Amino acid sequence: MNVKGRISDKGIAVNVNGKEYYIDYPEKVWKKYPDKLKAILLDNISYLTTMHLPLMFGKKEINYETAKPFFESFFYKMMINNIPFASDADSVSSIEKIKHYMNTEYHFMDKNIKVPEHKEYRQKYNEQATVNFSFGKDSLLSYAVCREIGLNPILVYVNDEDTAIENEYKAKSMKKFYKEFKTKVNRIDSSVQLLHDFKYFKIPRTEWGYGHLITEFSLEILPFAHYNKTKYIVFGNEKSCNDTYYNNDNIKSFPVYDQTHEWMKQMELMAKTMTNNKVHVMSVLEPINEIAVVKILHTRYKEIGKYQMSCFPDDNPSGKENAWCQCCSKCARIFVLMKANNIDPKTVGFTKNMFDREFMHAFPIFQRSEAMVGYDKAGTGKEEQKFAFYLAYKNRAKGYLIDKFKELYLEEMREKADELHKKFFSVYDSITMPKEIKEKVVSIYKEELKT
């Protein structure tokens, strides 16, 4: 496998075996980014977006016509921690995949690593946040909270070429969102995400390549942070992103390692290194669980919550008719979390009762199936989902699956209700937010969750 990289007038182009993929920025943003930092970004993104390909295609080596990346050791740690879950999701041996990765030869044409210089970073940075934005519940709540505490958020959406239907829905939402909140959603247009997509390569379903998307975004957003002189880059990684389990090889596994708070500190080190310690990476959702995210978004910030889109409509035929396919585990999870908080799923566009029997395959507490996205397939969120069903039952939700829940789990949940309520609706400590920001954010959450 051969990889080349070049800096274009619009951004970065990565060439894999003669096929070129792009990351394009608004002209004014890219033009303002320093040339030396562009070169470092090129080396690191060329490597980061392709380092999984030997594992995906069973290759033993890959050649780069770029310099050795400055953050190679960071990416190595990220990849090692992603392999156990990706292997488990693909039903292959994680031991063999780790061996494959460690035995793969990564060759670089230029052994001289480019090191960041910081003549450009003498200016003062603003108390503002650049928010990685997607219209999902986490990015919407991140925007809402940053807006309330005065961080004047700048939103950046990665417009992935492989999600044409999703992009169409979101383009309409961007116009409405701007009209209502006078907040523009800035775009990075990208086809590099195709390199992660098994459907694009016409190979069997696999998790390879999806384990470092957030890390890619953290680097891709840097030109926006530089252009706007924003002090913070914000991701919507809630407490459950730290969840782990032991896979079939008895190896500790992270369903979303590059969204863990531990890894966010590593992304912050990369950002600080690239910006002379000016830019911090954090999550304002770090102290709360997913069920609490849904509650706060749709009670305190209803006018923002109604824009929520959390499905992958390009992956399902029904996605052409509705932004929610209403057949995958992501839709199922959001549906029950809304019902648990007594929020009508119709407010965000659901048209079906996902407690009907036909949707049992989408809930991991009932069965594991191909309809499940990675996190749900791992099963780490089962306890939260059972508790969400319990709350939905108490809110008098109806359907075959509510009856099924009563049959299988009602007594267990009744006995543990107080304990689980405390667990899932508490406000936890944070390691990524600076003290002054954390105090403001935690105050909001405690007010809403009455803790």
Which pair of tokens denotes residue 330?
């992501």
Asked whether residue 189 is domain-assigned, the answer is yes
Q: Are residues 256 and 362 in the same domain?
A: no
Q: Are residues 145 and 9 in the same domain?
A: yes
Q: Are residues 257 and 348 in the same domain?
A: no
User: pLDDT tens across 293-318, in order?
Assistant: 999 999 999 999 999 998 887 777 77
Q: Report the pLDDT value the prediction gives residue 314, as an integer from 0 to 100.
A: 75
User: pLDDT tens across 118-130, in order?
Assistant: 765 667 899 999 9
Nearest to 289 by CA among 188, 196, 388: 388
Asked whether residue 43 is domain-assigned, the answer is yes
Rounded to whole angstroms, the Cα distance separating 60 from 54 reads 6
Q: Are residues 115 and 157 in the same domain?
A: yes
Rounded to whole angstroms, the Cα distance separating 142 from 235 reads 7
Q: Are residues 114 and 263 in the same domain?
A: yes
Asked whether residue 143 is domain-assigned, the answer is yes
Per the prediction, the chain carries an average pLDDT of: 93
One-letter identity of residue 324: W
Q: Are residues 192 and 107 in the same domain?
A: yes
Asked whether residue 94 is domain-assigned, the answer is yes
Share of the chain above pLDDT 90, in %: 84
Average pLDDT value for residue range 46-66 = 96
Q: What region, left, alpha or beta, does residue 209 occupy, with left being phi > 0 and alpha being psi -120 to 50 degrees?
A: left
Which has more confidence, 323 or 343? 343
Q: Are residues 254 and 181 in the same domain?
A: yes
Average pLDDT value for residue range 405-419 = 97
Asked whether residue 397 is domain-assigned, the answer is yes
Which has more confidence, 86 or 369? 86
Q: Lowest mean pLDDT: which of 14-23, 207-216, 330-339?
A: 207-216
Q: Are residues 92 and 168 in the same domain?
A: yes
Q: Compute CA distances 109 → 1, 55, 440, whole Å.
A: 14, 21, 49
User: pLDDT tens across 93-147, in order?
Assistant: 999 999 999 999 999 999 999 998 876 566 789 999 999 999 999 999 999 999 9
Q: Report the pLDDT value the prediction gives residue 165, as an integer from 0 to 100.
A: 82
User: pLDDT tens across 330-384, in order?
Assistant: 999 999 999 999 999 999 999 999 999 999 999 999 987 665 766 677 778 899 9
Q: Lowest mean pLDDT: which of 317-321, 345-349, 396-400, 409-413?
A: 317-321
User: pLDDT tens across 220-260, in order?
Assistant: 999 999 999 999 999 999 999 999 999 989 999 999 999 99
Strand pairing class (245-246; 252-253) = antiparallel
Q: Report the pLDDT value the prediction gives residue 53, as an integer from 0 to 100.
A: 96
* Residue 11 domain boundaries: 2-282
Nearest to 51 by CA among 83, 23, 79: 79
pLDDT beyond 90 at 182? yes
Predicted confidence band of residue 160 (pLDDT cuts 50, 70, 90)? confident
Share of the chain above pLDDT 70, in %: 97
User: pLDDT tens across 249-288, in order?
Assistant: 999 999 999 999 999 999 999 999 999 999 999 999 999 9
Q: Are residues 226 and 102 in the same domain?
A: yes
Nearest to 50 by CA among 274, 188, 209: 209
pTM above 0.75, yes or no: yes
Asked whether residue 47 is domain-assigned, the answer is yes
Which has more confidence, 218 or 209? 218
Kindly provide the b/e burial profile for residues 135-171, where b requires at least 16 CB atoms within 10 angstroms of the residue's own CB: bbbbbbbbbbbbbebebebbbbbbbbbbbebbbebbe
Q: Are residues 251 and 160 in the same domain?
A: yes
Which has more confidence, 318 or 49? 49
Q: How many CA atoms lie within 13 Å of 262's alpha carbon, on the beta-carbon side?
A: 12
Asked whether residue 289 is domain-assigned, the answer is no
Q: Are residues 232 and 181 in the same domain?
A: yes
Asked whether residue 41 is domain-assigned, the answer is yes
Q: Are residues 276 and 315 in the same domain?
A: no
Count of the separate structural domains present in the chain:
2
